[in-house]
Chains A and B, each alone.
Chain A
Amino acid sequence: MSFIFRGMMGGQPAGPQPSGAETIQKLCDRVASSTLLEDRRDAVRALKSLSKKYRMEVGTQAMDHLINILQTDRSDSEILGYALDTLYNIICNDEEEEQDESEDEAAQKQADDLGTQFTEKFIQDPEHVTLLLTLLEEFDFHVRWPGVKLLTALLKNQGTQLQGIILVSPMGVSRLMDLLADSREVIRNDGLLLLQQLTKSNAAIQKIVAFENAFERLLDIITEEGSSDGGIVVEDCLLLLLNLLKNNSSNQNFFKEGSYIQRMKPWFEVGDDNSGWSAQKVTNLHLMLQLVRVMVSPVNSPGATASCQKSMYQCGLLQQLCTILMATGVPADILTETINTVSEVIRGSQVNQDYFASVNAPSNPPRPAIVVLLMSMVNERQPFVLRCAVLYCFQCFLYKNQKGQGEIVATLLPSTIDANSISAGQLLCGGLFSADSLSNWCAAVALAHALQDNLTQKEQLLRVQLATSLGKPPVSLLQQCTNILSQGSKVQTRVGLLMLLCTWISNCPIAVTHFLHNQENVPFLMAQISENLGEDERLVQGLCALLLGICIYHNDNSLENYTKEKLKQLIEKRIGKENFVEKLGFITKHELYSRAAQKPQPVFPSPEQMLFDHEFTKLVKELEGIITKAVHKSSEEEKKEEEVKKTLEQHDNIVTQYKELIREQDSQIQELKEQVSSMSSQNEQLQVTVTQQLSQIQQHKDQYNILKLKLGKDNQSQMNSQVDGSQVNGLQTEEVAQLREELEELRKQHTLLQTQLTEKDTLISNLRSETPQIAEDSAAESNNTELLQELEALRSQVQSQTAEIMQMKTEREELLKRNEAMSSDAACSSDDLADSAKMAELESRLTAQMAATERLKAEAKSLSESRAELEQQLASATSTVAILQTEKGKLQTEVQESKKEQDDLLMLLADQDQKIHSLKQKLKDLGETVDDEDDLDTRDQTDDDYEEDEDEDED
């Protein structure tokens, strides 16, 4: 041993004592320079012994030398051990636990700083960590054990950085896992502590550790150590398991898939006859329960939780937990955590909830576990946390459990009440109206959960009537709640009742009506909200505002005095909109609100802070904005909003309704389309008929013209001698008028011929009387004007007909156009039908379709009108045609008649000519000269004469 060392260790100092720093420097020099292993080993050992007292100095001066030793003296486990111990001493902070309690905190703080500072220095070169990891592979106890402790200390000081280095060093994590397999318990146990530090909030490392069979190893150790009866090692194993599973879904999945849930079940086989509960056992069981909860936590993915809940039921774990629940002599802490665990194992799982409902307490007579639990909830003497746990359990039992909700509410209904046993309903009502505000609150919240998202139960609960002790008439549960509310009880009680009432009447217009039906309720709420109350009344005010808001929002206007509109007017008048909204905001602004919103479990630092329920915070979140809007809305907007709201409320319902409506309208449109097309075809037909008739008319005209022409020719050829040609030509100027003209002409000719005939008769008689005097033709044109008028009428008739036809044509074109527009409209609508998923779209489409239908209807109407018009026109056209035809027929007959007459006349004429001729001949024969006659003759006549002459010659 060196003199320094001797001097240090307590020999009489001869001269000035060397300072710690000096001593350490000397030791460091020896570590660095001595060629003898033994020398170096002694120096390191000396450093080790100084390292606690002179932590600062050793750390600052010796660290590099010590690390050097780790690298160079690998073969000597003793020196390695000393070096590692020394490093551990300077880095570890919490070694001096037995230090005076009185020592001030500043000193501890300083120590912490030192540890961090030296840790940083050590890991500056990541190779040092790798080096340490390699040393851990050394089997020698002197190396491995201090190595584990050093690494643990490093991790405690600079966890994240160390984790990063270990993660990237090849097989770093895997090698540390080997520590659990070390047969030396100390190393294994310290290895557990190391792994706890290593796995802290690092998912990647947690996964590797799990991959390296950590679950298997840890569960084995727990079993070997006696499960919950085991010592602190069990506790350490459980803590490590918690690290591996908390918030690590991949590992949870692995744990479940590895059938490790089944291996947890025996942990909870703690019999009734248990002799005693050590503190360690309480701790172990507590952690075991937490592990179960990690697997079924409400924050996990629903699918993962559901499958774990299923295995827990299938392997009997849930049943085992329920046994603990009903056992005697279980520490409050364990009982509470067991209740919380059962809660999460059954939460939202129908099978597990059903099982839970069937559990009976082993009492005489047996009682449902639910009833036994509720008894504790409303019992003032039970610990607060236990009562909270019971409430949580009850909530989890009812979560997404309509059946369970129905069963609980049923215990309150007149028809199902069993007077002989205590029921859940009785306990809840009892709690609701007991003198203990905590019971009031718990019972109110519990009852609210029986109504959550369950309209049927909200309505059922309205039937509940309570008998009052005073022999007065029964009072409804709803009424009783509001009575208590107005009696000004504790804040906690009123908050509980208000939450219950809000949950109860929200989304349930019938309950709103019931509530409003009590004449005192609205004035009470108004008064509560409008008053200027102290800080602690603010939450109650906010809840009153919420309740009133729900009365507006879910109001079906069935009460004359309290319609939406009236309530809003009341608010405006008595409270003021802005003030109302501000009061409503008190709820979410409350300091405890966001805390409750975080997770379903009711956890409160103290009983007074038990104010908000998690599910209720969801309701507030849902309603606050809506109510604010509803109150601000004008009645106009309100009406619109109302419609939108209704639509939203009956979402599914309305979608199908709309779909049906659309389908209906589609068929309507289809019908109208068909109507339109049949009408257009009718229209076309009419058009065709009109054209046909027009052409018929034309034909008739043509025929008539031909006839007329023929007639004209006949007349010309046969009557030229009697009729003035120019006169005939003048009458032929108008095309249509020709008919009449012709007739006229014929008549004239007829008259002329008759006149001629008369003349000739006269002549004959004259001739006969031998005073032949040929009378001059003096034709009277008396009826000429009359005929012209008739002609004009005919002409205008034809003109109007043409105009009508033109009109029909344009109308038809218009019809066709509309037709096209209609069919394109209809096509659009049916296309849109396909994606009628969204409400808004549906609505807009609906209005569009309604408008389209309206338009179509109008069009159809105008179409049928114009069709009727057309038909009328057609009828008139047809009749015109008929008239024309009759006229034409008449004319034709007339023409025929005139022709016949003419023929007759011609015959007569010919006869008379013959007679005249023979008479002339007789006269000639008699020796009379008959030359006057020649003046009357035309050229034709001359020809005739000539011919006659020729004939005569021939004869």
Chain B
Amino acid sequence: MAYAYLFKYIIIGDTGVGKSCLLLQFTDKRFQPVHDLTIGVEFGARMITIDGKQIKLQIWDTAGQESFRSITRSYYRGAAGALLVYDITRRDTFNHLTTWLEDARQHSNSNMVIMLIGNKSDLESRREVKKEEGEAFAREHGLIFMETSAKTASNVEEAFINTAKEIYEKIQEGVFDINNEANGIKIGPNHPTTASTLTAGIQTPLTRSGIDKNEVTTLLDLDEDHGVVIFKFAAI
């Protein structure tokens, strides 16, 4: 499907905070009650509409476990947006935000939009981090903030869409260099791909594979004498 822009996102945060669940809810509208530990990085995509324009979101869901940290760091640089997720029922995941933020700021491009997400808002009874605390942290570090529930889908759409809106505004303001794909933004293909580049071609004598199979075969020119015994069917 044609799109006006393509944004790359990453989702980061401690293990078990619900990153994969947020992505699954966003792309498949499903919830997965079992913790399916992410190994390395997983990919997901969805189309959204902002300001009447189709925007393709490509999202990389990273593993929260410490051992994957060096791998996941490779994804900061090329992302236009990041969802930094903590679990409102586990204070330690909130306490680790500073580390995550430092890491992100260090490895990403400076324009990357970061959305802070307090997930599992459906578990009000087990809440350990007040909403105000999240808000305060976001204000202090210049992030957007939202509480979500990957289980009930509350605010999940909004989290992804609001991030995209922020990026979109930055593009309008000319903050992003949209011609540098390394920023995690791509302009859509506004002209159809042409085959005009197909030329008769320089025939390189070089060949690594050593294949020389110029023997030509055609299925068609066997019409006349195909050497096949044809059975007549008995009329019944």
- A interface residue numbers (CB < 8 A to B): 167-174, 203-204, 207-208, 211-213, 216, 223-224, 226-227, 229-232, 235, 250-251, 253-254, 257-259, 262-263, 266, 269, 275, 277-283, 286, 325-333, 335, 361-363, 372-373, 375-376, 378-383, 386, 412, 414, 417, 422, 425-427, 429-431, 433-435, 439, 463-467, 474
Residues of A within 8 A of B208 (CB): 232, 235, 283
Contact at B217–A330, with CB atoms within 8 Å?
yes
B199 to chain A, nearest CB (A): 5
Residues of A within 8 A of B1 (CB): 259
- Which of B11-19, B124-132, B139-147, B222-230 contacts the other chain? B222-230
CB of B34 within 8 A of chain A? Answer: no
CA distance A330 to B214 in the complex (A): 9
Which residue on chain A has the smallest CB distance to residue B76? A171
Contact at A335–B217, with CB atoms within 8 Å?
yes
Known: A167-B70, A250-B42. A378 touches B228 (CB 8 A): yes
Residue in contact with B211 in the complex, picked from A283, A372, A422, A429, CB distance below 8 Å: A283
Residues of A within 8 A of B56 (CB): 257
Contact at B181–A216, with CB atoms within 8 Å?
yes
Residue in contact with B200 in the complex, picked from A229, A412, A425, CB distance below 8 Å: A229
Residues of A within 8 A of B77 (CB): 171, 174
Question: How many pairs, one residue from A and one from B, have CB atoms within 8 Å of each other in the complex?
Answer: 214
CA distance A386 to B208 in the complex (A): 24
Report 11 cross-chain contacts, Cβ distance below 8 Å, ordered by A residue. A170-B107, A204-B40, A229-B201, A232-B206, A254-B45, A262-B193, A278-B204, A328-B218, A363-B223, A379-B227, A474-B234
Known: A216-B181, A226-B198, A257-B45. A286 touches B211 (CB 8 A): yes
Known: A168-B70, A280-B204, A430-B228. A223 touches B211 (CB 8 A): no
Within 8 A of A (CB), among B189-236: 189, 193, 195, 197-204, 206-209, 211-223, 226-236
CB of B60 within 8 A of chain A? Answer: yes
A282 to chain B, nearest CB (A): 6
CA distance A662 to B60 in the complex (A): 53
Residues of A within 8 A of B8 (CB): 211
Residue in contact with B231 in the complex, picked from A235, A376, A430, CB distance below 8 Å: A430
Contact at B227–A414, with CB atoms within 8 Å?
no
Residues of B within 8 A of A329 (CB): 216, 218
Known: A282-B214, A332-B217. A229 touches B234 (CB 8 A): no
Interface residues of A: mostly helix, strand, loop or mixed? helix
CA distance A381 to B150 in the complex (A): 62
CA distance A330 to B215 in the complex (A): 9
Contact at A171–B217, with CB atoms within 8 Å?
no
* A-B CB proximity, top 4 nearest: A229-B201, A231-B204, A474-B234, A257-B45
Chain B, interface residues (CB within 8 Å), range: 35 or more
Contact at A277–B78, with CB atoms within 8 Å?
no
Contact at B211–A386, with CB atoms within 8 Å?
no
Contact at A212–B71, with CB atoms within 8 Å?
no
Give the residue among B78, B189, B199, B217 with the most A Cβ atoms within 10 A: B217
- B interface residue numbers (CB < 8 A to A): 1, 8, 40-45, 56, 58, 60, 70-71, 73-75, 77-78, 107, 181-182, 186, 189, 193, 195, 197-204, 206-209, 211-223, 226-236
CA distance A885 to B45 in the complex (A): 99
CA distance A275 to B199 in the complex (A): 12
Residues of A within 8 A of B229 (CB): 430, 433-435
CA distance A414 to B236 in the complex (A): 6
A752 to chain B, nearest CB (A): 104
Contact at B74–A174, with CB atoms within 8 Å?
yes
Residue in contact with B222 in the complex, picked from A250, A280, A379, CB distance below 8 Å: A379
Contact at B202–A231, with CB atoms within 8 Å?
yes
Which residue on chain A has the smallest CB distance to residue B40? A204
Which residue on chain A has the smallest CB distance to residue B223? A363
CA distance A227 to B195 in the complex (A): 9
CA distance A286 to B228 in the complex (A): 30
Contact at B198–A414, with CB atoms within 8 Å?
no
CA distance A414 to B232 in the complex (A): 11
Known: A263-B193, A335-B217. A171 touches B42 (CB 8 A): no
Give the residue among B71, B78, B228 with the most A Cβ atoms within 10 A: B228
Residue in contact with B234 in the complex, picked from A211, A232, A259, A466, CB distance below 8 Å: A466
Kindly list 6 other residue pairs between chains A and B, CB separation below 8 angstroms, not including A211-B41, A229-B202, A414-B233: A171-B73, A213-B78, A232-B207, A266-B193, A332-B215, A430-B230
Residue in contact with A211 in the complex, picked from B45, B78, B200, CB distance below 8 Å: B78
A165 to chain B, nearest CB (A): 11
Residue in contact with B217 in the complex, picked from A232, A383, A429, A467, CB distance below 8 Å: A383
Contact at A213–B181, with CB atoms within 8 Å?
yes
CA distance A282 to B199 in the complex (A): 16
A327 to chain B, nearest CB (A): 7
Known: A208-B74, A278-B203, A333-B213. A258 touches B197 (CB 8 A): no
